Amino acid sequence: MYLALDVHYKSNYAKSVGLTFLNKSDNEPQETFIETIEHIAPYQPGEFYKRELPCLLQVISKLNLETINAILVDGHVYVDNDGHYGLGGYLYEALEQKVPIIGVAKRAFHTNKETVKMVFRGASNNPLHISAIGLDLETAAQFVLNMHGNHRHPTLLKILDGITKTQ
């Protein structure tokens, strides 16, 4: 089983959502987990993970990690070519390196070109920027490339994004 996670910030709280799915060809989640986090940390430039990581961990706490093959996060595993962590790397460490993490970012960093693989899906000329820890980058990129859907964003990640942004 796989888990995809996302967080959306409202005026005074955050909504953290997780979707589980069995394989990359799934077009509907197996289960959906939604958590509301009341007291969120303020945004700190360059340290976004400090705000987002607790929200992700609250959803993850609802699952048995032994059943999860990999976790997909909206963001980067590394923020530079030297291996400094982004959200995905910090999540990997918080989970004691037990579950591989696939970062699926919409935007590139100019500092992490060597730790990211661009994936072009559908007819889009705008790539997704894939990074990984705990599994091979090429394997992670192929996984995202082959996920269900004919557009830039895989079907399940579009569903996840929609759930996080609704009430």
**Cβ distance 146 to 23 under 8 Å?**
no
Amino acid at 104: V
Domain count, the chain: 1
**Structure confidence at residue 167 as a pLDDT band (50, 70, 90):** low
Q: What is the pLDDT of residue 43?
A: 74
Digit-coded pLDDT (tens) for 93-106: 999 999 999 999 99
**Structure confidence at residue 36 as a pLDDT band (50, 70, 90):** very high
**What is d(CA 41, CA 30) in angstroms, rounded to the nearest whole number?**
30
139-159 in b/e form (b: 16+ CB < 10 A) is: ebbebbeebebeebbbbbbeb
- Sequence-ordered list of residues with C-beta below 8 angstroms from that of 70, at least 6 positions apart, any chain: 2, 3, 99, 100, 101, 102, 134, 135, 140, 143
**What is d(CA 74, CA 64) in angstroms, rounded to the nearest whole number?**
21
Longest dimension (CA), the chain: 41
**What is d(CA 167, CA 163) in angstroms, rounded to the nearest whole number?**
8
pLDDT over 70 (residue 107)? yes
Q: What is the pLDDT of residue 106?
A: 93
* Owning domain of residue 65: 2-165
Distance between alpha carbon 103 and the CA centroid of its chain, in Å?
Answer: 5
Digit-coded pLDDT (tens) for 63-96: 999 999 999 999 999 999 999 999 999 999 999 9
The whole-model pTM stands at 0.94
% of the chain exceeding 70 in pLDDT: 98
**Cβ distance 72 to 56 under 8 Å?**
no
Q: What is the pLDDT of residue 33?
A: 97
Flag the least confident range among 8-22, 42-56, 124-138.
Answer: 42-56
Q: What is the pLDDT of residue 118?
A: 97
Digit-coded pLDDT (tens) for 111-140: 888 999 999 999 999 999 999 999 999 999
